[in-house]
Amino acid sequence: MTGLFFELAIMLVVILVAAELFTNALEHLGERLKISEGVTGSLFAAVGTALPETLVPLLAIAGSKAGSSVNQEIGVGAILGAPLMLSTLSTFLMTLAVLRSRGVKGWVAPERTGFTRDLNYFLCAFALAAAAMYVPHEQMIVRALFSVALVGVYVTYVVMTFRASGELVDAGHGTEAPGKMLLSRIGVPTSLATIVLQLALAVALLVWGAEGFIHGVRGVSEAVGVSPLLLSLLIIPIATELPEKVNSILWIRRGKDTLAFGNITGAMVFQGTLLPAIGILLTPWTPRVEVLTGVAITLAAAAWLRTSIRARGLRVGALLACGPLYASYLLITLTR
C-alpha cells in the first residue's frame, strides 16, 4: 500500500512539472503570436493544464479490456470529476487567495465577454452530455449524434474565441509572458523552435505521469475496496487539477483576473465537450446516483458563476459560495 501511494505522489510531481513547462511555453507562444489573454487563458493555457486530467480518462479507456469495467469507471469518473472540481473547489481556492487583499465585498474582474462565452458554451455542452446518459447503449446512432454535437460545440467555441482576439488585443488585453522561458534558463535561446521543443517535452512527461497515475489509482481502489468510479470522481480531479489551481492562484494574485478565470472556464469547456463525446461512445455512460450528483452540482456551480457576473466583475463573496457546493457534493457522495 505504501508503494502505491508513493507511486501516486511521484506521478503527481511529474504531472505538475510537466504542466508548468507546458503553460510557460504557451505564455511565450501567445506573446509571440500577439493573441489576447482570452485565447491564451481559455484555449492555450486551459488545454495545456487540462492535459493531465484529459490523458487519465483517455488512457484508462484505451487500456480497458473486454469484460473489465475498472478502467472504464476510472475514465467516467475522471471525465465528470474534472469540471466539478474546476467549477467548485478550484474557483473557491483561487478566491481565497485574494480574500485578504480584496475583501468579501471586493471584485474579481475577468474580461466579461470571454467569461460569459466560456460559461454559456459549457452549460450548453454539459447539459447535452448529461442528457446522453439516458440514451440506451444499444442506440449507438443516437449516442453518436450527441458526441458529434459536443465536438461541434467546442469547434464553434474555438472559432468564436479566436474571432474576438483581435479586438481584445487592441483594447489592451494582449498576452504578456511573465518571465523567461524555462528552457532559456539553462542556456537555450528563446525561439519558436525551442518553444515547440518545450511543449513536446511537457507532453511526453504528461503522458508518463498520467499512465502512472492510472496504475496507482487502480491499485489503491483494489487494496481498500473502494469503487474505482468513486475514487476517480474524488481523487483524480483533486490531484490533476492542481496545475489549474496553482496557475490561477498565481495569476489572480498578480491581478491577471482574465488569465486566472480563463484557465478555469476554458478548461471547463474543453472537458465538458470533447471528453464526454468520447465517454458517451466508449464507456457505460449511465445515470448512476454518484454521477448525477456530480453533474447536478457542476451545472449549479457554473450557472451560479454565469448569473453572478456584473459590469464590474464578480463579487468575492459570491465566488466563495463555490466552496460549500463542493462540500455538499462530498457530503452527499461519501454518506452513501
CATH code of the domain covering residue 318: 1.20.1420.30
Grid cell 512539472 in the structure block, residue: 17
Query: Would you say how long the chain is, in residues?
Result: 336
- Write out the residue range of the structural domain in which residue 125 sits: 2-335
pLDDT at residue number 73: 66
R_g over Cα of the chain: 19
pLDDT at residue number 185: 78
pLDDT at residue number 336: 65
pLDDT at residue number 331: 86
State how beta strands 314-315 and 107-108 pair.
Answer: antiparallel
Low-confidence ranges of the chain (pLDDT < 50): 66-67
**Number of structural domains found in the chain:** 1
